[in-house]
Amino acid sequence: MNALKNTGIRLVALLVLQTLWLETSLSQVPASPRIGEEISKQESIYQSKGEQVPEGYYTDRSLWDYARALSSGFDRALANLGPNDRWLDIGAGGGQAILDYYTPAYDLAHWEGWERRNWKAQAVAISIEDRRTPRWQQDAANLEKNKIQYLFNRRLREYSFDELGQFQVITDVIGGFSYTDNLSLFVEKVLGFLDLYGSFFSILQDVRSEDGTNRPHYAGSPFLTEISNAEGSEVGICAWLKSIACVEVTCESKTGWKPPVEAFHIRKVCNDVTVPALVTIHYEAGTPPERRFQLRNPSPSSQGRTGATH
């Protein structure tokens, strides 16, 4: 009887320990104190106000800037949304792009199909800090209740599916995709909020292009975001995105940007999404930060090679 009781206590203790371990591994424990310091510096950039806002931290890009930066399919995907659809803008800054979507100027530029669409999608902006302008408050009050929402004080990873729900279009223009210190968790969350056959549009500045022919924009500096495999060799961002199960990915180099931009269109084509896990090995605060990630698990081909030599 006592042995049974002890086994029971041990089992409970084991379960508690496992839960604690799980929580710690899911929460953001920086890989090193140095990364922790840089994440704190980054936080002060988010919270900066007035003259303290660093040069290069732009929070008021228009919808036209979005259409110019994102993959060519973005403009049409947004224009095709109907009144029962939803658009999430991650890292929305002041939410200018969303406000532009509800203007007559947008309707004039996207007149075809207007009758069929009838009215517009609901749009949700999320930002770590509150950068709403008086115009946001005014437009939100004039539009149908909850047509536009602005959520702040949390990162994307801190929202549950029950809170945010599903979206047919998700955008991120130099928002969380460029700033997160946990890229694989970020993409996993995005794909969780994306409806089946929905599209995620985003960009990264100064990264290796899909064809691998470019060099870092600033001589002597690395690319802004880099991924390596578990053995240390570079894996392109596009190649990593294409290794995610249940998505179709296109990568486009955009000209006319300084530094150059790579635009990504990720379409969810089935529900069993699996994102290859990354570990953060370098993070330096900035606008955007400099980041290096490494694949947590060795690639299957190199495992095969190791197996063959032994």
- List of residues contacting ligand SAM (CB under 6 A): 46, 57-61, 90-93, 126-129, 155-156, 173-176, 179-180
Q: What are residue 123's DSSP bridge partners? A: 87, 148
Nearer to ligand SAM, 123 or 126 (CB): 126
Shortest Cβ 257–ligand SAM spacing (Å): 13
Least CB distance to ligand SAM at residue 201 (A): 12
Least Cβ distance, residue 189 to ligand SAM (angstroms): 9
In angstroms, the CA 4 to CA 221 distance is: 62
Q: Smaller CB distance to ligand SAM: residue 173 or 266? A: 173
287 CB contacts (<8 Å, ≥6 apart)? 45, 54, 55, 56, 57
Kindly state the smallest distance separating residue 123's Cβ from ligand SAM, in Å. Answer: 13
Q: Contact 192/223 with Cβ under 8 angstroms?
A: no
Between 166 and 299, whose beta carbon lies closer to ligand SAM?
Answer: 166
Task: List, in sequence order, every beta strand (DSSP E) within the chain.
Answer: 86-90, 122-127, 148-152, 167-172, 194-205, 225-228, 234-235, 247-254, 261-268, 278-284, 290-295
Q: Which 3 state secondary structure label does DSSP give 112?
A: coil
Closest approach of ligand SAM to the CB of residue 287, in Å: 7
Q: Residue 176 or 276: which CB sits closer to ligand SAM?
A: 176
User: DSSP characters for 1-22?
Assistant: -HHHHHHHHHHHHHHHHHHHHH
Query: Which residue, 31 or 39, has its beta carbon nearer to ligand SAM?
Result: 39
